[in-house]
Amino acid sequence: MVEFQQVVTLVGIGVDCVGVAAIVVGTLVSTVLAVVQLARHEAGAYRVYRRRIGRSILLGLEFLVAGDIIRTVAVQPTFTSVGVLALIVAIRTFLSFSLELEVTGRWPWRKAEEGVAPAAKVE
């Protein structure tokens, strides 16, 4: 019989795998699209390429944080593991904010104040 901790651990690992896959697949697709744009001599290919990779990393980070939360809270809820989780989440949140600033040119909390963000445009 499968124990609850084993299931939660496997779910956490699965969510981590989805996060890594989002980063890898997003980077590969972004690279292929950038090569196509460069071959067509389209303007702004580098800017669009960076934005696409940034979005892939942001999506992957969200899944990685979710996987850490699932494994830490459900499997090992000790003060040490929760402290390590808090540090990991803080670092990944800082990375997410930095990437969001890099991708959109504004802080995440400024989107509502300024209307539609450049990242919302389809390119």
Contact 65, 92 (CB under 8 A): yes
What's the pLDDT at 24? Answer: 97
Whether 77 is covered by a domain: the verdict is: yes
| First CA to last CA distance, the chain | 50
Whether 123 is covered by a domain: the verdict is: no
Whether 108 is covered by a domain: the verdict is: yes
pTM, to two decimals: 0.73
| Mean pLDDT for the stretch of residues 65-70 | 86
- Under the banding of pLDDT at 50, 70 and 90, the label for residue 56 is very high
Please report how the helices 45-75 and 79-104 are oriented relative to each other, as an axis angle in degrees rounded to 10: 170
CA dihedral (65, 68, 71, 73) positive or negative: negative
Whether 121 is covered by a domain: the verdict is: no
**Of 6-10, 32-36, 77-81, 108-112, the least confident:** 108-112
Whether 122 is covered by a domain: the verdict is: no
Whether 102 is covered by a domain: the verdict is: yes
Whether 109 is covered by a domain: the verdict is: yes
Domain residues for 59? 4-116
Residues 6+ apart with CB under 8 A from 96: 58, 61, 62
Q: How many domains in the chain?
A: 1
